[in-house]
Amino acid sequence: MSALFTKDTQAIFWNNNASAIQRMLDYDYVINRTKPSVAAIVAPTSGNKFEKFFYGPDEIMVPVYRNTAEAAAAFPNADVLLNFASFRTAYDVTMEAIAIKGQFRSVMVTAEGIPERLARKMNQAARDAGVIVIGPATVGGIAPGAFKIANVGGTIENIINSKLHRAGSCGLVTRSGGLFNELSNIIAINADGIAEGVAIGGDRFVGSVFIDNLLRMESNPEVKYMVLLGEVGGTEEYKVIEAVKSGLIKKPIIAWCIGTIAKHFSSGVQFGHAGASANADAETAAYKNTAMAEAGMFVPASFNDLPKTIADVYAKLTSEGIIKEIVEPALRTVPKVRRKKEFICTISDDRGDEATYAGYPISSVATPETGFGIGDVISLLWFKKRYPKWATDYLETVIKTVADHGPAVSGAHNAKVTARAGKDVISSLVTGLLTIGPRFGGAIDDAAKYFKYANDRGMSPAEFIDYMKKEGKTISGIGHRIKSVRNPDLRVSGLKKYAAEHFPSTPLLDFALEVEKLTTSKKDNLILNVDGTIGILMVDMWRALGYSETDIDGFIDAGALNAFFVVGRSIGFIGHILDEKRLGMPMYRHPTDDILYNVEYADEI
């Protein structure tokens, strides 16, 4: 707990600040982190599911969520929130994050000028919840060699020059973010760099103050001494003075308060930050510098002498053997020129010895002894993981069930007409497939969508029927031309039987069967039909496999259900096309006596 961040620390970045995130990832790559430091991005108004970033020479995808709760649920180990919201929303974002119990250890708030009362509430709520707030109005902090917040440290060149790529032995706390880099540089030139550094923020009310950070550094064995850069205004430095006097802090502190200039001018001139104006003598920089020196801290005569003070303390600690020499780690370099990829593929890879389906070499899934069926291959290539056998068996059942429904249905008819016009298999197949849509095959999609919608919102079967009536829609998945309660569709019976025996549970099917009870009480043929059963059971399958409702809605919206129909029915279409070719049937022309002509002759020509 003593170190603020480790090499495993991961953050959720609130706001898609692409350049800052890229700088974090560049840093991660250079210092050889195994995991990127940004686990996820929260962007409430983004429609994207991920953003691409460079990680060294390659690109990686960082997932994007609409709110912090979802991102936190997906990344329970990401315990830092980098709150880059504006001063208008930063308070709400922090409060929302604090409310997620057990998730965040620290929240960094970059916004400057959050209303003071809100900042005070936010800081108190965080303290009560045991969450460290860094900021507001800060560039953040860094644990060199482990984790870097956003823009701290500047360019990679400067990071290396300022020895921010690996832990040194100084704990640095500043108020100013602009001077943080400068102090890191001074410490790098005059000592061995910093072990941990935080810019606490320039607003009047900040979450973690000097003493919070210095006490943590006192207990962090990596930190051998501290540098504190305070500012005119406020009394926070006195808490440090008390801690030094009482022996709570024993490590040497080099301290300086900037803003000694302010004593020369009336209160009208604001030197520095919003927090920086002295309301009493004790709040002036000069007074604080004297008090810190009296408490035994190392205080230079002026800011210009700070480097020498640091060099002296460092030399003393080195000669005492408290600071040991640092072995410089090997670093990776980020290529100067990097090209963004135009396409992304997350399902298969043909770059190795053998192409893979979701990580499985083709040979490991192709032949019968592998135990993989076509259902397994579909689950790998469509859903990026191998489903359990009960589920892949269901997928295969669906494909077999929808493979054909005779020559009269519109898709098959189109395919046959095209084949008879002398077109090839592909053209003929495509005309059949193009028929698939809301009226032909589309009932699977709609049934899944509407039944799930009603079930998600806790509608009763009667309410659902009412709702669909009000919407002016027939209920997809209900009704059959010939089949009825007394003359059941055996395909449906088979699917239901399979599900009852093999699915862990079938909540949506149970709901649909209650709906069917009501509809069939009105008319005998308003049964749950095969399209409805397939779609509804597919939802039950996904639920049992652990997908979230959002994921399942995504599958439905993407047309995955339609896709099963497409695959299955293609088998039948091709059958009809081959049948036509085999029979050598001539060009088809529809008989005119089967067409009602209703065209008036033009009055004038």
Partner 1 sequence: MAQRAIREYDGKAIFSKHWENYFSGFRYGFKSVLVTSGDDLRVKAQEHGFEWLKQEALVAKPDMLFGKRGKNDLVLFRTAKPGDVTLEEAAKWIDEKIAHETILLTGQKGTLTHFIVEPFTPHSQDQEYYISATTVGEDDVLYLSAEGGMEVEEGWEEKVNEVTIPITMDDANIEHLIRSNVPAGIPEENKERFIAFAEQFYKFYRDQNFAYLEINPIVMVGNDMHILDLVARLDDTAGFMMGDAWCGAEFPTAFGMEDQSPEEKAIALADSKSGASLKLTILNPMGRIWTMVAGGGASVVYADTIADLSGNVSDLANYGEYSGGPTTGETQFYAETVLDLMTRHKDPKGRDKILIIGGAIANFTDVAKTFTGIIQAFEVYAERMKAHNTRIYVRRGGPNYEKGLKDIKEAADRLGLYIEVYGPETHVTDIVRMALEK
Q: Which residues bind partner 1 (CB under 8 A)?
A: 19, 87-88, 112-118, 120-121, 123-125, 128, 139, 151-155, 158, 161-162, 174-179, 181-182, 185-186, 189, 202, 204-205, 231, 235, 258-261, 264-274, 276-277, 285, 302-304, 306-307
CB neighbours (10 Å) of residue 166?
A: 18
Catalytic residue flag (residue 273): yes
Q: Which is nearer to partner 1, 137 or 217 (CB)?
A: 137
Place of tokens 């592909």: 426
Residues in CB range of 504: below 8 A, 6 or more apart: 544
Return the axis-axis angle of helices 306-319 and 178-190, rounded to nearest 10°.
50
Burial (0-12, 13-18, 19+ Cβ within 10 Å), 441: buried
Return the axis-axis angle of helices 507-522 and 530-544, rounded to nearest 10°.
160
d(CA 163, CA 182) in angstroms, rounded, equals 12
Q: Which amino acid is residue 497, in one-letter code?
A: K
Q: Which is nearer to partner 1, 108 or 509 (CB)?
A: 108
Q: Which is nearer to partner 1, 45 or 267 (CB)?
A: 267
227, β-bridge pairs: 172, 254
Q: Which is nearer to partner 1, 96 or 376 (CB)?
A: 96
d(CA 491, CA 397) in angstroms, rounded, equals 10
Q: Which is nearer to partner 1, 144 or 461 (CB)?
A: 144
Cα end-to-end distance, the chain, whole Å: 93
Shortest distance in whole angstroms from residue 30 CB to partner 1: 16
Catalytic annotation, pick one of 165, 264, 273, 405: 273
Shortest distance in whole angstroms from residue 310 CB to partner 1: 11
Strands 38-42 and 360-361: unpaired
Q: Which is nearer to partner 1, 23 or 576 (CB)?
A: 23
Q: Which is nearer to partner 1, 178 or 504 (CB)?
A: 178
Q: Which is nearer to partner 1, 128 or 594 (CB)?
A: 128
CA angle, residues 119, 120, 124, in degrees to nearest 5: 115
Q: Which is nearer to partner 1, 274 or 563 (CB)?
A: 274
Shortest distance in whole angstroms from residue 18 CB to partner 1: 13
Burial (0-12, 13-18, 19+ Cβ within 10 Å), 604: exposed
Q: SS3 helix, strand, coil % of the chain, rounded to 5? A: 45, 10, 40
Burial (0-12, 13-18, 19+ Cβ within 10 Å), 500: exposed
Shortest distance in whole angstroms from residue 186 CB to partner 1: 7
d(CA 463, CA 454) in angstroms, rounded, equals 8
Shortest distance in whole angstroms from residue 193 CB to partner 1: 14
d(CA 416, CA 579) in angstroms, rounded, equals 9
Shortest distance in whole angstroms from residue 301 CB to partner 1: 8
Residues in CB range of 145: below 8 A, 6 or more apart: 7, 31, 165, 166, 167, 329
Shortest distance in whole angstroms from residue 126 CB to partner 1: 12
Task: Give the Å distances, CA to CA, from 31 to 21, 56, 164, 339, 397.
Answer: 16, 11, 10, 22, 51
Shortest distance in whole angstroms from residue 506 CB to partner 1: 49
d(CA 508, CA 473) in angstroms, rounded, equals 20
Shortest distance in whole angstroms from residue 2 CB to partner 1: 25
The residues annotated as belonging to the active site are 273
